[in-house]
């Protein structure tokens, strides 16, 4: 049992946690939810000894812990499985699992690899990791890496395991497998703290949920007693239900983008579709089903092996992203905003205007018109309600939701006719998510753009799209039309999508 009593923590200018008291029982999976900035990460860092609380206590099985370091918390049997997968890529699975207790020849420090591998196998069996223990970690899939991390926690005899967004980068099937293992651990009396933005997971897996809001506990509830609307209301402090944004006004006469049997060996096969003006076309499927891959072929990030593409009725040859952007006015909002979407150490201004510098250039002096640049940026900041102290603000210091808005805003500023938006709300809190949804909607509705929305979040895609293409194993396996019909319920559409995935 892990008990937090009256934990408070301040940083210069910010009160991150205030009087937080939670009890995590042994043999329970306890969800910790809250919007970005609600204090979840700070709390995790206090439990694992990375931060010291200003006041309050962490009590583990009756003993108050005075954590000076991560090391000490590990020794007390508390381990964390981070959101970013933290493993040494060049080491073997066995080494990664046994890192804290490598078996050596007595008094020498020489490692006995045969023993280490054998011991690692025990823990690998517990998490159903069915590979040779001397496999290099870098060759594992994200799911296997995640399991390696959990096995490491088990090897360290962890009685409390904190899981920070453990299913990010995992497919649905892999996530289910992970859940089975977690339930198994629960049966062995391990305390599991589960941090996630995905409510379906919280409801499928957890026994209790504690909601943090603005650094305080908004409440702890048994999962059996509440539904997701109630949970959202606790998180954002207001009622909040919207499954549908209404009819999308599509101009079917005007085909903006047409793909004809596009193929990229090993990734996508014979993908054909049409995208119309004012349309929001959903690409639904699991991670790796070919949606992002198809987007990357369209924008010229990857070449095609066969098939043809036409933009606005004319055949298009897109060799690189410069072509896609400047010749065909196609923009792509990446799913990895931190790695590929943003210049984190750069200003809000540069992040928004990067794709339009050539347009802002004076033809004679070659100078970028700074006044015009600022104007475009301020307009983007305003229309997307990005909260930033100014255009000079470093993007790194903004919240995840604001970063995502900037990542989308770049293409809004670029005024592309066709916009491909890949997983726009991953790791974004509920409030910002809703704003981004309305923004995507407005792009199609008011600005008459053609939008492709790639998402694995079924409620999101059903809320926004008017037509959904279902992807499986690199192929478009089905199409669900008339998604925006207000007479159709969420259930009807989701069943229709599910039909194609069987």
Partner 1 sequence: MSKETAAGAPQALEQRVLVSGRTIGLITAGLILFGGIAIVSDTFLSGYTMFVLSRQVAFFTIIALAQAVCLVVGGMNLSVGAIGSISTVMLGLALANAGLSGWIAVPLAMICGAAAGLANGLLITKLRINSFIVTLSMMFILMGLRSGISGGQPYAVPKSFGYVGQQGILGIPYVFVIMLAVLAALSYMYRNTVLGRRMLATGGNADAARLSGINNDNMIICANVLSGLLAALAAVLWASELGSAAPETGDSWLIVTFAVAIIGGTGLTGGVISPYGVMMGGIIYTLIRHGLIELKANPYYMNVYIGILILLTIAIDRIREIYGEGKSK
How many CA atoms within 13 Å lie on the side-chain side of 95?
A: 14
Query: Does 378 engage in binding with partner 1 (CB under 8 A)?
Result: yes
What is the nearest approach in angstroms of partner 1 to the Cβ of residue 71? 20
* Binder among 149, 334, 403, 466 for partner 1 (CB under 8 A): 334
Tell which residue, 171, 239, 169, 227, has the closest CA to residue 199.
Answer: 227
The pair of three-digit structure tokens given for residue 451, joined into one six-digit string: 């939008």
Query: Does 418 engage in binding with partner 1 (CB under 8 A)?
Result: no
What is the nearest approach in angstroms of partner 1 to the Cβ of residue 374? 6
Query: Does 11 engage in binding with partner 1 (CB under 8 A)?
Result: yes
Query: Does 319 engage in binding with partner 1 (CB under 8 A)?
Result: no
Beta bridge partners of 468: 282, 480
The pair of three-digit structure tokens given for residue 243, joined into one six-digit string: 């499954």
What is the nearest approach in angstroms of partner 1 to the Cβ of residue 42? 8
What is the nearest approach in angstroms of partner 1 to the Cβ of residue 333? 9
Query: Does 52 engage in binding with partner 1 (CB under 8 A)?
Result: no
Toward partner 1, which CB reaches closer, 169 or 483? Answer: 169
* Spatial separation of the C-alpha atoms in residues 155 and 150, rounded to whole Å: 9
What is the nearest approach in angstroms of partner 1 to the Cβ of residue 432? 17
**Contact map string, positions 288 to 307, toward partner 1, x by CB under 8 A:** -------------x------
Tell which residue, 341, 358, 268, 353, has the closest CA to residue 307.
Answer: 268
Stretch that binds partner 1, among 116-124, 178-186, 242-250, 390-398 (CB under 8 A): 390-398
* Binder among 158, 195, 342, 464 for partner 1 (CB under 8 A): 342
Toward partner 1, which CB reaches closer, 250 or 386? Answer: 386
The pair of three-digit structure tokens given for residue 436, joined into one six-digit string: 């981004």
Toward partner 1, which CB reaches closer, 181 or 294? Answer: 294
**Contact indicator for 44, 88 with CB cutoff of 8 Å:** no
Query: Does 317 engage in binding with partner 1 (CB under 8 A)?
Result: no
Give 136's DSSP letter: B
Stretch that binds partner 1, among 188-196, 253-261, 335-343, 457-465 (CB under 8 A): 335-343
Q: Which of residues 356-375 bind partner 1 (CB under 8 A)?
A: 357-358, 361, 366-368, 370, 374
Query: Does 344 engage in binding with partner 1 (CB under 8 A)?
Result: yes
* Binder among 383, 394, 485, 494 for partner 1 (CB under 8 A): 394
* Spatial separation of the C-alpha atoms in residues 310 and 99, rounded to whole Å: 54
What is the nearest approach in angstroms of partner 1 to the Cβ of residue 85? 18
Give 337's DSSP letter: I
Cα 243–Cα 207–Cα 197 angle in degrees, nearest 5:
40
* Binder among 215, 290, 341, 400 for partner 1 (CB under 8 A): 341
The pair of three-digit structure tokens given for residue 365, joined into one six-digit string: 């002096």
Query: Does 132 engage in binding with partner 1 (CB under 8 A)?
Result: no
Give the contacts of 379 (CB within 8 A, at least 6 positions apart): 413
> How many of the chain's residues bind partner 1 (CB under 8 A)?
46
Stretch that binds partner 1, among 200-208, 272-280, 384-392, 482-490 (CB under 8 A): 384-392
Beta bridge partners of 222: 208
* Binder among 321, 442, 458, 477 for partner 1 (CB under 8 A): 321
Give 247's DSSP letter: -
* Spatial separation of the C-alpha atoms in residues 143 and 170, rounded to whole Å: 6
Query: Does 188 engage in binding with partner 1 (CB under 8 A)?
Result: no
Tell which residue, 458, 463, 456, 457, has the closest CA to residue 440.
Answer: 463
Burial 203-235 (b: 16+ CB within 10 A, else e): bebbbbbbbbbebbbbebbebeebeeeebbbbb
Query: Does 326 engage in binding with partner 1 (CB under 8 A)?
Result: yes
Q: For the chain, report the end-to-end CA distance as a whole number of angstroms.
A: 42
- 208: three-class secondary structure by DSSP: strand
Which residues in this chain contact partner 1 in the complex, by CB under 8 A? 11-14, 16, 301, 320-322, 324-326, 332, 334, 339-347, 349-350, 354-355, 357-358, 361, 366-368, 370, 374, 377-378, 381, 388-392, 394, 397, 410
């Amino acid at each position: 049992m892990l008990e937090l009593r009256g934990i408070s923590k301040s940083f210069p200018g910010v009160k991150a946690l205030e009087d937080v008291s939670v009890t995590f029982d042994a043999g329970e999976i306890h969800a910790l939810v809250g919007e970005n900035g609600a204090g979840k990460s700070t709390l995790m860092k206090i439990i694992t000894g990375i931060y010291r609380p200003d006041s309050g206590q962490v009590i583990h099985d009756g003993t108050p812990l005075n954590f000076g370091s991560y090391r000490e918390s590990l020794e007390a049997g508390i381990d964390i499985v981070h959101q970013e997968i933290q493993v040494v890529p060049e080491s073997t699975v066995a080494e990664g699992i046994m890192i804290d207790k490598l078996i050596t020849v007595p008094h020498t420090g020489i490692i006995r690899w045969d023993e280490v591998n054998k011991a690692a196998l025990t823990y690998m069996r517990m998490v159903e990791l069915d590979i040779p223990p001397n496999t290099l970690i870098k060759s594992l899939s994200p799911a296997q890496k995640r399991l390696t991390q959990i096995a490491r926690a088990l090897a360290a005899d962890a009685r409390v395991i904190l899981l920070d967004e453990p299913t990010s980068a995992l497919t649905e099937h892999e996530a289910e497998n992970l859940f089975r293992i977690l339930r198994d651990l629960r049966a062995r009396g391990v305390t599991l703290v589960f941090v996630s933005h995905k409510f379906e997971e919280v409801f499928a897996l957890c026994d209790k949920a504690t909601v943090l809001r603005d650094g305080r506990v908004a409440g702890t509830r048994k999962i059996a007693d509440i539904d997701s609307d109630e949970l959202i209301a606790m998180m954002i402090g207001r009622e909040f239900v919207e499954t549908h944004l209404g009819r999308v006004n599509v101009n079917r006469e005007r085909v903006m983008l047409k793909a004809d049997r596009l193929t990229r060996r090993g990734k996508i096969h014979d993908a054909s579709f049409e995208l119309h003006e004012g349309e929001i076309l959903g690409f639904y499927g699991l991670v790796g089903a070919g949606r992002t891959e198809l987007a990357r072929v369209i924008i010229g990030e990857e070449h095609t092996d066969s098939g043809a593409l036409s933009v606005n009725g004319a055949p298009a040859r897109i060799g690189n992203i410069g072509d896609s952007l400047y010749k065909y006015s196609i923009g792509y909002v990446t799913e990895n905003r931190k790695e590929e979407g943003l210049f984190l150490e750069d200003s809000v201004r540069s992040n928004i205007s990067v794709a339009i510098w050539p347009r802002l250039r004076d033809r004679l002096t070659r100078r970028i018109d700074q006044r015009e640049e600022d104007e475009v940026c301020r307009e983007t900041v305003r229309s997307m309600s990005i909260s930033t102290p100014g255009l000079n603000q470093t993007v790194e210091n903004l919240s995840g939701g604001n970063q995502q808005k900037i990542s989308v805003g770049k293409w809004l500023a670029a005024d592309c006719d066709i916009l491909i938006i890949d997983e726009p709300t991953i790791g974004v809190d509920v409030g910002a998510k809703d704003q981004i949804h309305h923004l995507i909607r407005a792009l199609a509705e008011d600005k008459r753009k053609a939008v492709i929305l790639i998402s694995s979040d079924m409620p999101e895609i059903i809320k926004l799209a008017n037509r959904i293409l279902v992807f499986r194993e690199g192929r478009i396996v089905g199409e669900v039309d008339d998604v925006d019909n207000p007479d159709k319920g969420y259930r009807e559409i989701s069943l229709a999508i599910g039909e194609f995935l069987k």
